[in-house]
Structure 1
């Protein structure tokens, strides 16, 4: 039984009201049962306070937990088969959302409890601590917080899963007569290694025919870096980023100058949305039984295996859509689609057959800033009172990820006004 759209819409509206703006700042904040005094640096309001330290990935049967468990299982197996079967790949869940603030100036888009404490914006400090403790390969899971405009794919609190792989190349580099060449070859090998891992992960969960692409990026802990996107439901979703670990990370970790490695950061929220067909990231914060009961504790891999055994064409099918669909949250296309109509009055003595209606539709489509997906003429008729023809158009927009309803209205009004002017038409209101 699917969740009714009215319930989903009500919840999304409630979450949307939570803002990271500096309003209603209290004298104290309560974070994970601990009280902190606020000051002039504080920019966490009472509405955002409950989202801090929620640690959804640690909650039983939550889709984020199911997702990270399956990703963990995949990478443990991948390390065993492709790198070294003696690697344990331990998992560390960091449940503390706070870090000391060491800067004298405010970091853009960061949340401050006060001048001494900041909500974690990245995982570098935690990674340095684990590398310093002697760990070479491990998984780190934690909450991150950054101010942003909320929509279907963005929320100020989100969840990251980092896979770190390091090794000491001292023997290899010392034996090499051409050190720079050997370093370049090592870097190429490590890059191929982490990119292969992400590609195989995407194929494992989404099917061997999944479309993916790489885009160069500027990431805090890695260089060079790239972003990994998969094509899902007519759009590209960024689910991961990675690269070679910067030398300064190894220096802070007191590692050898011959250390090298890679890091992959996986956005658990977006990956869970794809795996469980959840169309709005804010729904992940719904703790009501009507939402959580949609997700069975049975592992994705177990359901996957059951489906594969009875499917002769599993190699080219999207595994997750086929298996998780009975417990997924549908409605993304219906929820995000918006149709608007335009009625144009043609000039007098303008016959319908010679009027360039195809060019008009194309013009409107090109002047909606990529918000419109389709423009069609759905009706025409002769108005005897006006002594001319009336042309009715239907414009299909996509609301949600990139455009709000108000933005769509503004774009639509502008496009139809420009079309009327350029084609010498009159808008029929």
Structure 2
């Protein structure tokens, strides 16, 4: 008992540390439901679900011109939380679909001898300024050290698909969930600890917030001498995106991390690189900024149309689990938000009310409270006047033929008080000056 009183300060420090750690996470359980604005909800005649017979259990979608790239694995529900997929479970598939013509989706052929295919994130980049060839990257989270990133070249004018390269399991490719190219031969990957949770350590990661996931970097400009390395760690990095000189990583535990990239000039010599490692071909600074989210963020996409980062998210873990496991085909809510980075502003979106003022940067861009129209949205893209979404729980590709977002308005100073008074009933999702709230 002599050591009993001495334990109190230790317990206090431990409790304070744990509370501080959990305060950094998305509030989730305390987040508010956004009002069902028709501009961002499923509206019959504006939204529809296409090709449910083909697109089942889909993980990710990206859109380039008239084409959508979709990754699906309807057999993911057959996976075991500890060991992964059962032996003999069929592979998933990746499709290229002309959504404008609504032609039959074309399945990418990986070859009869390819082995297990567990497609997660997909991404494309045009290899030239004329946009005649789209290079497609597919993350394959196959188990037993067979994970890879598969690279294909697609020619829209002819419909031809050519296998370009297979990047195998290694330092940058462990359990890849997402991939983003910064050029036709340079990519970043996000790796979780055995997605979907093939290991006991993943539960420790979820509870503790320890960064067991990794961020990988590959340069295959010279295919005979590929540069591959792990450049960072993150807790459950589900999504990854690149825009400008920033790399964004969606941590399901904490929110969206922003990393600053530095790419030195090409005229730096190998000797200079050897003398000063900071002058290497890629310099990776640890997370300089984090954007808290009111939900658990999943796949990311940058919308050139909205000039902002879009993330789909799970706002109900229970709803996701019940939808995943229930034999009664229960539904999960669908939700996605736009990250608004306009300096000293906060978003008047009721869902962000659970966040601190400085973190209220999210504007709801899609909301289906019950999931009856589209259950468990997993990835959302806003491009070409449309919203595109897919789900692991539901079938088909959701397409809403208008982005429906009202113009973001910053109130004039003399009108600010009136705007603040009516913000709770605002139907236009205006922005407000944080310093004046």
Give the TM interval when normalised to the shorter protein.
under 0.3
Say which structure is richer in helix: 1
Length-normalised TM-score, structure 2:
0.25
Higher Rg of the two aligned structures: 1
